[in-house]
Amino acid sequence: MNKNANEPRLLDHEADGIKELDNLLPRWWVWLFYLTTLFAILYMGYYHVFSHGRPAGRRVRQGMEDWRGAQEGLAGEIRGQPGCVDPLKGQSGAGAGRQIYVNLCKPCHRDDGGGLVGPNLCDDYWIHGSNYVDNVKTIINGVPAKGMITWRGLLKPNDIEAVASYIYTLRGTNPKNPKPPGKPAAAGGAEYL
């Protein structure tokens, strides 16, 4: 045993030539440990036991519910009915949508819808759904992962409906040198926009 009480004591074991010393932890470390333990207890009590705060999971669920409500509200704004399942006909529909398509969509999808950076809009292989409602949703939400911006807030609901109606008329046409068809991501094939 050490003669001086302030020096660390050697314990009775040794491993690989290393002797363990019985040192005290620094006071700042001990107080930091006590403070973090106290914080953890207070945090758990506030958020989980007494439910005063909103835990992250609840905030995420609330955010998703708000987002879904906004989506349904925007779909309801288009023609004043939820879902708007039929494309517009005549000059008020596809004719008005053509000008919007030429100004905003042509750079990625070509004038004839054959596809450049964006997919071919004339074939039967649509990644995000080929019916009219899917066209509206894709225009509203965009496909940010593939480079298509969301047009919500940039186009009025009746403009979104008009351009979706025009795009719907492109299906089944035969553009010159179209982009090859893409397969949906779920099918495991090549992914186009």
pLDDT tens, position by position, 66-82? 777 766 655 555 544 44
The domains located in the chain, with CATH, are 9-49 (no CATH), 64-184 (1.10.760.10)
Mean pLDDT of 15-31: 84
DSSP 145: G
Mean pLDDT of 124-144: 80
At 41 the pLDDT is: 95
Mean pLDDT of 144-154: 84
Dihedral angle of Cα 168, 170, 171, 174, to the nearest 10 degrees: 180
pLDDT tens, position by position, 154-165? 888 888 888 888
Q: pTM, whole model, 2 decimals?
A: 0.51
For the purposes of burial, counting CB atoms within 10 Å of the CB of 135, is it exposed (0-12), middle (13-18) or buried (19 or more)? Answer: buried
